[in-house]
Amino acid sequence: MRRSRRTKILATLGPASESQEMIEKLFEAGADVFRLNMSHLPREKLKDRVATIRAVEAKFKRPIAILADLQGPKLRVGAFEGDSAMLEPGQTFTLDADMAPGGKNRVHLPHPEILSSLEPGHTVLIDDGKLRLRVKSVKQGAAATTVEIAGKISNRKGVSLPDTTIPVAAMTDKDRSDLEAALDAGVDWIALSFVQRPEDVAEVKKVARGRALVMSKLEKPQAIARLDEIMEISDAVMVARGDLGVEMPLEKVPGIQKRIVRAARRLGKPVVVATQMLESMITSPVPTRAEVSDVATAVYDGADAVMLSAESASGQYPIDAVATMSRIAEEVEQDQNYWSIMRTLNTEPEATGSDAIAAGAHQIADTLNLKTMAAWTSSGSTAFRIARERPNSTVIALTPSQDTARRLALVWGVHSIRTKDASDIDDMAFRACKFAVREEFADVGDRIIIVAGVPFGTPGATNMVRIAFINQEHAAQA
């Protein structure tokens, strides 16, 4: 099950794709990571869903990463008398703490933290931006707004606050319960929704304690304002363009996407581009030309992974959507412009021995035109560092840790294999060559480059590069 592309694919599971048979077909079509959306997946079904994916993993004998996506705080207005009301342009509409059913002039906002945080001039978006209100005055328990974009408002529609920092954590009580359940079930990545500040990420990492890595979903202006701090503490990030496009002007989203992807490349942290990538394939067997260009742009930018949401979770053509995304990525990566862009975006290595070794290995592989790099890694950090360089070589990550092998399924260009740790330098070289042949990344007569840390099994101790020649003995034992 070797892939012929470096960019990874995340597929969201849902009603259209939750059976083991469908998960197997999605994996064969090209899915590398499966996303479990906790907004829709009942907590009591989580363990069974993880077990189903692990059964697929065992069948194909390839590590598969599982991402549990926490719902985050869902801000909504209350209910209306008659279930809805029609707002007119320029009228005053009040959001308040009164629990009585709403009407044409007011509605209950069951979030006191919002009412205490709003200030005159702040924007309030309702129903994914279909209605826009501007706060004109705030008093105890109520905010009077002017309707700028009018229309129908109905029960429990979502509220977005692009100008307001809300003094609540990104995790709700539901999220905390879901997080514990996900960690107990053995997921590999946790995605945190509606991150506003680095402290939000720190809270999740404190609970996870290394049992899973944490991915910050960047979907709020407040997160973009503190991007460097949030990225520093996160293990990975996601460009969540859906909510980002609601809370910020749409025309700003492409530039923000490029900024986030480049920042992640610079830090050597995985970055996922998500939302509406092949949206039309929810109901159509083929995408629009614009959607193909959108996926290709993310691949050209050097994103580690691209994600499917409703396309694979509830769409009519989930397998076609994954296969289409895989073909787009393969085609882009065969374009000579792709590799010239990758080289242009490379950054200077950090002043550490491990980063210098990773950068040096990339240069050696490039100079000698070696098509395979093998990285012995315990924690995964060596493979992360090499992937950051975006080498024009396949990166085989050899690790004794099943958790590490699975987590690396998200990382650009990494083909992870679980195996016992090397016993000495000769064993390290021999088995790296053997696996390169077995996985069909190299042949007898080829040279490969091996990166490792001595003493073996010491996380973060990358300090050695070796070039090895593949001979008949390696092929015989492959």
What CATH number is given to the structural domain containing 105? 2.40.33.10
Give, rounded to a whole angstrom, the gap between the first and last alpha carbons of the chain: 16
Q: Is 78 inside a domain boundary?
A: no
249: CATH: 3.20.20.60
At which of 288, 307, 335 does a domain end? 335
Nearest to 40 by CA among 309, 387, 317, 402: 309
Q: How many domains does the chain have?
A: 3
**Do 258 and 294 reside in the same domain of the chain?**
yes
Q: What is the DSSP string of 150-200?
A: -EEEETT-BEE-TT---SS-S--HHHHHHHHHHHHHT-SEEEEPS--SHHH
Q: Is 132 inside a domain boundary?
A: yes
The catalytic residues are 35, 76, 217, 275
CA distance 395 to 374: 6
**Do 365 and 435 reside in the same domain of the chain?**
yes
Percent of the chain with pLDDT over 70: 99
At which of 335, 357, 389 does a domain end? 335
Sign of the alpha-carbon dihedral angle for 185, 216, 327, 276: positive
In this prediction, residues 372-399 reach a mean pLDDT of 93
**Do 207 and 153 reside in the same domain of the chain?**
no
**Do 175 and 302 reside in the same domain of the chain?**
yes
Average pLDDT, the chain: 94
Residue 454 has pLDDT above 70, yes or no: yes
**Do 295 and 246 reside in the same domain of the chain?**
yes
362: CATH: 3.40.1380.20
Name the E strands within 45-158: 65-69, 84-87, 92-96, 106-108, 123-126, 131-139, 142-149, 151-154
**Do 203 and 310 reside in the same domain of the chain?**
yes
**Predicted confidence band of residue 351 (pLDDT cuts 50, 70, 90):** confident
Q: Is 2 inside a domain boundary?
A: no
**Do 224 and 246 reside in the same domain of the chain?**
yes
pLDDT tens digits, 149-160: 999 999 999 999
**Domain encompassing residue 268:** 8-72+170-335
**Exposed, middle or buried, 169 (CB in 10 Å: 0-12/13-18/19+)?**
middle
**Do 115 and 250 reside in the same domain of the chain?**
no
**Do 370 and 466 reside in the same domain of the chain?**
yes
pLDDT for the residue numbered 165? 87
pLDDT for the residue numbered 143? 97
Read off the amino acid at residue 364: I
**Do 145 and 287 reside in the same domain of the chain?**
no
pLDDT for the residue numbered 128? 87
Nearest to 311 by CA among 267, 355, 280, 337: 280
Residue 379 has pLDDT above 80, yes or no: yes
In this prediction, residues 241-256 reach a mean pLDDT of 93
**Do 98 and 56 reside in the same domain of the chain?**
no
**Do 42 and 88 reside in the same domain of the chain?**
no
CA distance 466 to 168: 51
pLDDT for the residue numbered 460? 65
Q: Is 421 inside a domain boundary?
A: yes
pLDDT tens digits, 166-215: 887 779 999 999 999 999 999 999 999 999 999 999 999 999 999 999 99
